[in-house]
């Protein structure tokens, strides 16, 4: 539930700490919470991840928060069935 955001007016700052100096970042600081987003990795974050002003996560539901704060990896997709399923009209 995360997204990398850039600024079309200053593309050299995309995926770069200098993104914090753009109009896009300033807008995000003021408005992202209204849309249930927050900065994923602010300076000195407790996860120890480098500062990424372009990386924002959606926190609009409990599962998003639990996954992030517990440090869990997303649940892997189940393995495909070992047999091809048979449907009633194929029997």
Instruction: Please tell me the number of Cα atoms within 13 Å of 72 on its side-chain side.
Output: 9
Statement: residue 84 has pLDDT above 60: no
Instruction: For the chain, list the domains and their CATH numbers.
Output: 2-74 (3.30.1380.10)
Q: For position 90, what pLDDT does the model report?
A: 53
Model confidence over 45-62: pLDDT tens digits? 999 999 999 999 988 777
| Residue with tokens 């992030």, as numbered in its chain | 68
Model confidence over 13-28: pLDDT tens digits? 999 999 999 999 999 9
Percent of the chain with pLDDT over 90: 53
Q: In DSSP terms, which residues pair with 2 in a beta bridge?
A: 57
How much is the pTM? 0.64
């Amino acid at each position: 539930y995360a997204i990398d955001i850039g600024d079309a007016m200053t593309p050299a700052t995309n995926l770069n700490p200098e993104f914090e100096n753009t109009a896009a970042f300033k807008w995000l600081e003021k408005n992202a919470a209204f849309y249930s987003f927050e900065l994923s990795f602010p300076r000195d974050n407790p996860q120890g991840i480098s500062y990424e002003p372009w990386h924002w996560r959606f926190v609009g539901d409990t599962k998003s928060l639990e996954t992030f704060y517990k440090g869990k990896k997303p649940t892997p997709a189940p393995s495909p069935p070992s047999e091809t399923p048979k449907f009633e009209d194929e029997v």
